[in-house]
Structure 1
Amino acid sequence: MKPARPFDDGLRGTIEANASLADFIWFRTGGPAEWLVRPADVADLSAFLGRLDPSVPVLPVGVGSNLIVRDGGVPGIVVRLPKSFAKVSVEPGNRIRAGGAAMGITLASAARDAGIAGLEFMRGIPGTVGGAVRMNAGAYGRDASDILIETTLVLRDGSIETWPAAKLGYSYRHSMLPEGAVVVEALFAGTPGDPAAIGAEMDRIAAEREASQPLRSRTGGSTFKNPDGHKAWALVDAAGCRGLRNGDAQVSEKHTNFLLNLGSASSAEIEALGEEVRRRVAEKSGILLEWEIQRVGNPA
């Protein structure tokens, strides 16, 4: 049965009731979105959110590479930006403008082709620009906050604002982006560089990821944040959790800061496994790991 619409019509994009999120979330698990919205453009998204009852929750989702969607699904509106939001363009001053739906590898490749250095690490970010801006994604010693100049947002009330990076209040894997705000565009800056050298560094990053991470598995990226002075994977390993299972959910044997869905795991099993890892690490080391993966929605 379709849920009652908490909004009026007028969206030029698409809207789907009880829409599967497991079709594209990396873990391939979890319940549906009550409503999945794909706006046609920024103006369409702005008008839609402006008409939406303020009490209805809004959750932007990219490719779901660092996300557990709980088995009961996500209430309210899930916004997923379509390919029209994935454009990337080079601007003067070693700057690159990217839509919120652009992938990290697309951004890094555009920078390489333009001879702009400093964005190579985005080759190792498996999500979208919007997700990277929101969570201050990082890899190989650099974070999104190191290269971001400003971002354009559609706020929950439908207003469109451009925020300088300083306004986002960045810290490790965290920003002060308001709840329900959608990153529709971001402007990044690098430095002049040699395309061949940039490409070689991107190739090195790709090879290192392939060698050390379970990229061809149903996973969710880095599970826990690195505590100050420690590596999460080493703490998990020291607590004896390598290969630990809960049903079809498993701690990766290749990289212990990754959880895997071996086939038919539920989101509840994956999350419970993560909590058991946190318990064992705390018992062994006295350090309580913080989740890096975002967990959303309702339990079954």
Structure 2
Amino acid sequence: MKRIVVVSGLSGAGKTTAMGFLEDLGYFCVDNVPGNILEELLKLFMSSDLEKMAMAIDVRSEHLGDPISTVERIKEKTNALVIFLEASTEELLRRYALTRRRHPLQKDGLGLEDAIEKEKEILSHIKEIADVVIDTTRMNTHQLRETLAHFLVNQAGGTSVRIMSFGFKHGIPMDADFVFDARFLPNPHYVPELSSKTGLDSEVEAYFKNYPVVEEFIEKIYEVLKVAIEEYQRTGRRIVTVGIGCTGGKHRSVYITHRLKEMLEREGFTVIEKHRDIEKV
């Protein structure tokens, strides 16, 4: 089966890294695709012996056709996986300060921050229809490539679930479709012998078994996710990202994330488990 990946998103959020990674994986890569040659490009690909193609479509394509309608047409005509990359305004400002590059919308006296906000507005609909939204604010190049690899492995399958534990004190993941707050649950951080351990350790698991509310909370999340995932499958959504947060992202959120992965996998769902802040203090 031929594979098509569309990479879109904010300037400075990592599209160059993503396209380089796809090229390393053997994808035929086309950057800044003009919408007015899309039909011919797709025909050529489908009739060629190429098996994988990746296209970067973003705000730079605006003068050659509407990037939003271009992405919509690709999704309508193919089984393309659409990946949208974003980062916080503060992080994008920092990256532009380091590279000293000019933002593609920074013209006619428009400042950098205003250009970033304008780009977010222009591309907001592509973000809405994307299969995968990745927040690269706290990612380095290696972490972005690793995250992309998870999604690309499951491109040909049905809906995958990405469950991420995190600490609220380190910020809420921007790319989460659902966020659940576990901070009301008993906290093993205040038990001296458990403080240095994580939610993956058996001692912490035994601690949580003493509190029925923990299992009840997990069951409630599971029921919500099961309904949502089945609906996403029906409508063709490829990836669902779920954030489970506690204060530091080391105990409660990690334990719940791991338990949910086990429960969903027993139902036959493909699950990616990630612990964003488990090693942070």
More helix, by proportion: 2
TM-score (norm: length of structure 1): 0.25
More strand, by proportion: 1
